């Protein structure tokens, strides 16, 4: 009889759907289809918002299955909400010394947070079990809500101002990933409200935003170059 490593049941389906959505979104971002990429990011966030509830619906999960779910969720989150947003922002113009520094900082903070979550969640499961009611710091999945809202603003402001905003948002969100502060987890009504707002935002993005791809030969960051011109 053939045996496979891992867990294969309905409790992990949404997590894998989130991962596949983000991988597809990365391919679309590379081809400058940012609207589809943003939709994929939002869809990954929605899947992640409900995967824990789906997993906890199975009452006879073993400790190994619970731990596998924790590790699997965090590993997928590294790609979905760490690497994927960073790729989008890089392609949209976060390049050069300033842009890359912020992109690297964001990814490092996301990985630190997820590794820390695995440590404390593993300990908490052994003592308490169930679902934790409070976050420590900003969850990495929040970027699936924050970034679409940021991109929604693109049709309201000039391209350069949007690029500045993108730098600020990614830097701030990365910092909040590792800042230790309590944040109450939303209940089901809160999750549904955020889901509706996210889908509404994505709809606005499809109708109005432009998402212009910077020239392929442009290696520097236009924001950093403008700052240097002012200093000089």
- What residues contact 132, with CB distance under 8 A and at least 6 apart? 121, 124, 185
- Look at residue 213 and tell me if it is in a domain: no
Count CB atoms within 10 A of the CB of residue 60: 5
Q: Which residue has the higher pLDDT, 129 or 120?
A: 120
Evaluate whether residue 33 is within a structural domain: yes
pLDDT tens-digit profile of 172-214? 999 999 998 888 888 888 889 988 988 888 888 877 766 655 5
Task: Tell whether 67 is covered by a domain.
Answer: yes
Q: Which helix (H) or strand (E) holds 138?
A: none
Res. 65 pLDDT band, cuts 50 70 90: confident
Mean pLDDT taken over the chain: 83
Higher per-residue pLDDT: 219 or 122: 122
Can you give the CATH number for the domain in which 133 is found?
A: 1.20.120
Helix (H), strand (E) counts: the chain: 9, 2
Predicted pLDDT of residue 111: 95
pTM: 0.85
Looking at the predicted structure, is the pLDDT value of residue 226 above 70? no
* Higher pLDDT, residue 227 or 42: 42
Encoded tokens for 83: 């690497």
pLDDT: which is higher, 231 or 147: 147
- Name the pLDDT band for 230 (thresholds 50, 70, 90): very low
**How far is residue 29 from each of residues 21, 34, 117, 196, measured CA to CA in Å?**
12, 5, 29, 24
Q: What is the pLDDT of residue 56?
A: 79
Biggest distance spanned by C-alpha atoms of the chain: 72
Q: Is residue 3 part of a domain?
A: no
Total domains in the fold of the chain: 1
pLDDT at 88: 93
Q: Which domain holds residue 83?
A: 10-208+222-231
For residues 31 and 88, the answer to whether their CB atoms sit within 8 Å is no
Contact in structure between 194 and 50 (CB atoms under 8 Å): no
Q: Is the pLDDT of residue 232 over 50?
A: no
Give the containing element (helix H, strand E) for 222: helix 222-231
Q: What is the mean pLDDT of residues 65-92?
A: 91
Predicted local distance difference test score (pLDDT) of residue 231: 40
- What is the predicted pLDDT for the residue at 83? 96
What does the pLDDT average to over 141-164? 87
For residue 216, tell me if it sits in a domain. Answer: no
pLDDT of residue 124: 64
pLDDT at 44: 95
Comparison of pLDDT for 222 and 189, the residue scoring more: 189
* Residues 222, 224, 228, 230, CA torsion sign: positive
Residue 1 lies in a domain: no
Q: Is residue 214 part of a domain?
A: no
The predicted structure's pLDDT at residue 221:
53
């Amino acid at each position: 009889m053939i045996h496979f490593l891992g867990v294969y049941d309905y409790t992990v389906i949404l997590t894998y759907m989130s991962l596949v959505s983000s991988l597809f979104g990365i391919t679309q971002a590379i081809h400058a289809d940012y609207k589809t990429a943003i939709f994929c990011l939002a869809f990954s966030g929605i899947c992640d918002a409900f995967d824990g509830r789906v997993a906890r619906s199975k009452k006879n999960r073993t400790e190994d299955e619970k731990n596998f779910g924790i590790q699997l969720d965090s590993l997928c989150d590294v790609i979905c909400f760490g690497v994927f947003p960073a790729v989008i922002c890089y392609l949209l113009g976060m390049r050069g010394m300033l842009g890359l520094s912020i992109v690297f900082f964001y990814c490092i903070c996301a990985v630190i947070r997820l590794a820390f979550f695995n440590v404390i969640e593993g300990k908490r499961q052994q003592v308490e079990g169930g679902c934790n009611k409070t976050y420590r710091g900003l969850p990495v999945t929040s970027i699936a809500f924050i970034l679409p809202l940021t991109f929604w603003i693109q049709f309201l402001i000039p391209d350069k101002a949007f690029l500045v905003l993108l730098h600020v948002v990614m830097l701030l969100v990365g910092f909040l990933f590792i800042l230790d502060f309590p944040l109450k987890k939303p209940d089901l009504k809160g999750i549904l409200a955020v889901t509706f707002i996210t889908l509404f935002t994505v709809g606005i993005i499809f109708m109005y935003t432009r998402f212009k791809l910077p020239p392929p030969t442009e290696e520097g960051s236009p924001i950093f170059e403008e700052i240097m011109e002012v200093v000089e």
